[in-house]
């Protein structure tokens, strides 16, 4: 029996019931694929449900304010996805009359849509025979065929795409693509895969050579950068604080945060007090400084670790302050959101 036949037969008996599998509407498929980029289904599902409830059509999403989109996205990370999502919704409405492109090639023109997402939408919605290759697919193919070419190398990316395209069921690309992604997510998992109950066990190279834990191969990442963030949480007598919108490019673009002082190391109280005294907001005013967390909270991102300390600054008044009770309405990084929840509890 061919690889695709075994896979699709497995899928028909083992697939999870997920809302985006009940539709071929390109808006919903696109939305689910953007949300699930670098995100597990169990984490992404509530966001998908929230987005489809708040923005049931691409027109609703396009007409929303960016701050609304970012607020709904809060906690999911990689906020450029949310900004691209909003940009593309407006593009589809304004430039395409609300109709999504119907081919892989044209879908690639949408901001935030790469090879994988374009392949998923084109195959699932329009039955185009183009194979998806994501982390799950890399893992399944590298293990089954015993391929040791690094999946994040130029040669690896090309080789796995070619192989996936050769294996693709050209008559039913939608089912095949969903099947191989589901197989990697639930059967051929990164850790503790279900090898003993795998329909490919007899012919899987990794299983038969004892290399399941060694594949897929990935080139080592760059060294993670350590950064030191100090947030100033101003509290005035009339219960106002200061929030700043992050401008320019960056991981938290257009999100809100407390005033930030970045240092080259963790600071003790006396060292940091001198920095606060020269800060524009409290400069010349009397204030009391309290260190909220004695041990820095480490917020881990893919390329950097943010060693974060929150400092409470009690002060008579602040200019352009916002009522502290309203700050939950602003889109903020999850790091800030967790502090607010903890501080208010």
Angstrom distance (rounded) from CA 132 to CA 181: 8
DSSP H helices in the chain: 3-14, 26-35, 41-54, 58-63, 66-73, 80-95, 104-107, 115-126, 135-145, 154-167, 173-186, 205-208, 269-277, 334-344
Phi and psi (nearest 5°) for 3? -50, -50
C-alpha neighbours within 13 Å on the C-beta side of residue 345: 6
Q: Are 254 and 263 in contact (CB under 8 A)?
A: no
Active-site amino acid positions? 33
Q: Look-up: residue for tokens 């700050």?
A: 327
Note the residue count of the chain: 345
State how beta strands 304-315 and 322-323 pair. unpaired
State how beta strands 260-263 and 225-236 pair. antiparallel
The 3-class secondary structure across 168-226, one letter per residue, is: CCCCCHHHHHHHHHHHHHHCCCCCCCCHHHCCCHHHCHHHHCCCHHHCCCCCCCCCCEE
Picking from 24, 195, 37, the residue whose alpha carbon sits closest to that of residue 113 is 37
Angstrom distance (rounded) from CA 92 to CA 83: 14
Angstrom distance (rounded) from CA 217 to CA 222: 16
Is it true that the peptide bond before 43 is cis, omega within 30 degrees of 0? no
Picking from 121, 119, 211, the residue whose alpha carbon sits closest to that of residue 160 is 119
Q: Are 192 and 173 in contact (CB under 8 A)?
A: no
- Tell me the DSSP string of 32-59: HHHHTTTS-HHHHHHHHHHHHHH-SSHH
């Amino acid at each position: 029996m061919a690889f695709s036949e075994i896979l699709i037969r497995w899928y028909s008996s083992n697939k999870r019931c997920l809302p985006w599998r009940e539709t071929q509407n390109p808006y919903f498929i696109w939305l689910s694929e953007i949300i699930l980029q670098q995100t597990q289904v169990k984490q992404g599902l509530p966001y998908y449900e929230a987005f489809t409830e708040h923005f049931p059509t691409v027109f609703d999403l396009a007409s929303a304010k960016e701050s609304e989109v970012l607020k709904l996205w809060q906690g999911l990370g990689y906020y450029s996805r949310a900004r691209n999502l909003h940009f593309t919704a407006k593009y589809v409405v304004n430039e395409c009359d609300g109709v999504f492109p119907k081919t892989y090639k044209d879908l690639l023109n949408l901001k935030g849509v790469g090879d994988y997402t374009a392949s998923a939408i084109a195959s699932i919605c329009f039955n185009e025979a183009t194979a998806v290759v994501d982390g799950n697919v890399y893992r399944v193919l590298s293990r089954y065929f015993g391929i040791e070419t690094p999946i994040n190398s130029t040669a690896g990316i090309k080789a796995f795409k070619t192989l996936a395209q050769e294996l693709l069921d050209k008559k039913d690309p939608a089912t095949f693509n969903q099947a191989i992604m589901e197989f990697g997510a639930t059967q051929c998992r990164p850790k503790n895969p279900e090898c003993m109950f795998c329909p490919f066990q007899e012919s899987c190279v990794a299983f038969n050579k004892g290399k399941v834990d060694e594949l897929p191969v990935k080139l080592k990442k760059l060294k993670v950068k350590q950064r030191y963030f100090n947030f100033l949480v101003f509290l005035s007598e009339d219960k106002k604080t200061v929030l700043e919108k992050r401008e320019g490019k960056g991981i938290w673009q257009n999100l809100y945060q407390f005033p930030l002082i970045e240092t080259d190391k963790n600071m003790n109280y006396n060292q940091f007090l001198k920095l606060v005294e020269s800060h524009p907001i409290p400069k010349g005013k009397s204030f009391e400084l309290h260190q909220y967390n004695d041990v820095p909270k480490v917020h881990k991102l893919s390329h950097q670790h943010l060693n974060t300390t929150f400092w409470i600054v009690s002060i008579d008044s602040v200019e352009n302050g916002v009522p502290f009770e309203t700050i939950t309405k602003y889109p903020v990084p999850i790091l800030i959101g967790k502090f607010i929840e903890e501080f208010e509890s």
